Amino acid sequence: MSYCLNPVCPTPQNHTDNELCQACGTKLLLRDRYRVVQMLGQGGFGATFLAIDESLPGKPNSVIKQLRPSATAPHVMDMARELFKREAETLGRIGSKCPQVPRLLDYFEANQEFYLVQEYVSGFTLQQEVKRDGPLIEHQVKQFLSEILPVLKFIHENRVIHRDIKPANIIRRAQDAKLVLIDFGAVKYQHQPSQNASEHTAFTSYAIGTPGFAPPEQMAMRPVPASDLYALGVTCIYLLTGKSPKDLDYDPSTGELLWQKYVHISDHFVGVLKKMLEVSVRHRYQLAEDIFRDLDLEPYLQSLQDSMLSSKGNTGGRKSFNPRLDAPDSAGGTPSSPAARAAMAIRARQNKSDATSLQPGLTRSRVLDSRAGLSAPLRSRDSSGQGRDSVGRSRDFSGEKAKMPIRLDAQSLQSYYTKGKRDFASHDLNSLNLPRVNLSGAMFHQSNLSKVNFQGANLISADFGRANLSRANLRDSNLTRAYLSNADLEGADLRGADLSAAYLLNANLRGANLCGANLSGAKLTEDQLAMART
C-alpha cells in the first residue's frame, strides 16, 4: 500500500504501484525514493509514518516525520519548525555515536513541508510490554535502569535534555533486546542562549513534555538534566505498577506522587525512587551515574560498562560496546572509566561493611542478602514476634521459620508457590526433582540448586542471582528474562533452553551445555561462551 502525505487528503490509502494519489493527485514517492506505507502516530507538531526506501537494495524500512502542527498560529509554526530542526540536529549529532538512539538518515523540505527520515526500530515499547505481560518486579526494573541510565548519561554529556522520557518512548529492539530511546522532538540544548526575542517568545508560550512524567520545573519551562531523571523515576513506577501518573494520587501539600502502597520492593530501592521523584530539583539526583551508584548492586556495574560508549577513535560510525571494566592505569592507580571507579568504591564499601557489621547470629550471607534487598522481608521485630515487612505492613514473624524451613522438598516448594510465596532466597533445594514445574517470577537468590531437575520448567523472570546451579538439569526450560548474574552453572544441562533476554553476566558457564539454547538478546560475554559447550 502507498499512503498519501497530503494532510487534507480524504482517502490517503492507495495501491502500491500508484505514482499519484487517486484521491488528491499528490505524488506518492517522496523525494523519488521514499514510499510511505502507513501512519504510525500523530502528535502536537507532526505525524510519523512507516516508509520503505526504494532507492536502496532490499528496500529497508525507515521512519518519516512530517511537520504537521495541530495549530497554525505563526508562533506555533515557528516553535514547531525549531523543534523539528532540533530533533534532526540531535539525531545527526548523537545518533551515529550511540547505538541506542535512532540514526538520522535524511532531512529535507518538499512541497513546502518539512520531513525528517530516521532509522526504523523494530520492537515493542515498554508501555506495550507492560500492557501485554503485566508489571515488572524489582530486579527487572533495576536491570532496566542499568540499561537506560548509560544512554541518559551519554545524551546529557552531549548537552541534550530529552524532555519526554516515558515508557512509550523506550523501545526494546527486537533484534538484540536492547533498549532504544526514541522521539527526540522535544529536546532542549543546555545553556543555549536565545538568539532573538521572537524565538524566546515562541518557546516560553508552551511547556513541552508529557503531563505526569514531566517535573514541575520543566512544566514551568525551566528544564535541566535532572528533569529527565524525574521522568525516568515515574517510568519506573509505571513498570512496577502498570499505572500511569494520571491513575495515581498526589499529596496536595507537597505535590509528591503517592505510589508506595502499590509496590512491593526493598526499602533501599524505595529510597532511590523517592530521590528520583523529589519535587524539588535541588534535592533530586543531578546525574545519571549518581542513581546507578546508589543502587549499590555490583552485578549491574558490568551492564553499565557494557553500555558505555567510547569516544576515542570515533569515525562517525557506530561504536561497539566495551565488554570489560577498565583496568587500573600503568602505575597501578585509579581506573579510568566511571564504571570502574564506581565498582572499586562499592567493593571497598562492601568489604568494610562486611568486616565491621557482622553481629552475633548474623552471617555474611545474610548481610549480602539484606544489602541487595533480596532476603526475607523482615525489617524489624519486637519481643512478641510482631514486625514490619519491606513495605511497612504489620506481620507476625513468630514461628515463620517453622512455616518456611530452609530445606524444602519438591512438594513443599510447589505448595508454597501455589499459595503465593515467591521468595526462596538462600534455601537448600539441592537435587530436587521439579520437571515441567511453573515457578515463573520466583526468587532463588543465593539458593543451593545443585543437581536440581528443572527440565521443561517455566522459569520466566526468575531470579537466580548468585545461586548454585552446578550440574542442574535445565534442558528445554523457559528462562526468558531470568536473572542469572554470578550464578554457578558449571556442568549444567541447558540444551534447548530459552534464554532470550536472560542476564548471564559474571555467571560461571564452565562446561555448561548450551547446544540448541536460544540466546537471543541474552547478556553474556564471548569469554563466557568459550567456556561453555555450544
| CB-CB contact of 231 with 288 (8 Å) | no
**Residue 97 corresponds to which amino acid?**
K
Closest CA to 463 of 437, 489, 488, 482: 482
Residues near 362 by Cβ (< 8 Å), separated by ≥ 6?
A: none
Measured in whole angstroms, the distance separating CA 478 from the mean position of its chain's CA atoms is: 21
d(CA 173, CA 521): 9
Beta strands, E only, 85-237: 104-110, 113-119, 123-125, 160-161, 170-173, 179-181, 188-189
Region for residue 61 given its phi and psi (left: phi exceeds 0; alpha: psi -120 to 50; beta: otherwise): beta
Cα distances (Å, whole numbers) of residue 93 to 98, 102, 153, 458: 10, 11, 15, 44
Catalytic residue (choose from 53, 106, 164, 409) = 164
- Start-to-end CA distance of the chain, whole Å, equals 44
DSSP 330-382: TTS---SSHHHHHHHHHHHHHHHHHHH-PPTT--HHHHHHHHHT-S-S--EE-
Three-state DSSP state, 160: strand
Closest CA to 500 of 466, 468, 460: 460
| CB-CB contact of 232 with 264 (8 Å) | no
Measured in whole angstroms, the distance separating CA 9 from the mean position of its chain's CA atoms is: 39
Closest CA to 188 of 215, 211, 158, 216: 158
| CB-CB contact of 49 with 42 (8 Å) | no
d(CA 167, CA 164): 10
Look up cell 534442558; give the residue: 475
Cα distances (Å, whole numbers) of residue 307 to 301, 324, 498: 10, 10, 24
Is 164 a known active-site residue? yes
Q: How many Cα atoms within 13 Å fall on the side-chain side of residue 406? A: 7
Closest CA to 410 of 452, 375, 461, 451: 452
| CB-CB contact of 107 with 115 (8 Å) | yes
Q: What is the CA radius of gyration of the chain?
A: 26
Three-state DSSP state, 265: coil
Closest CA to 167 of 87, 244, 52: 244
Enzyme catalytic residues:
164
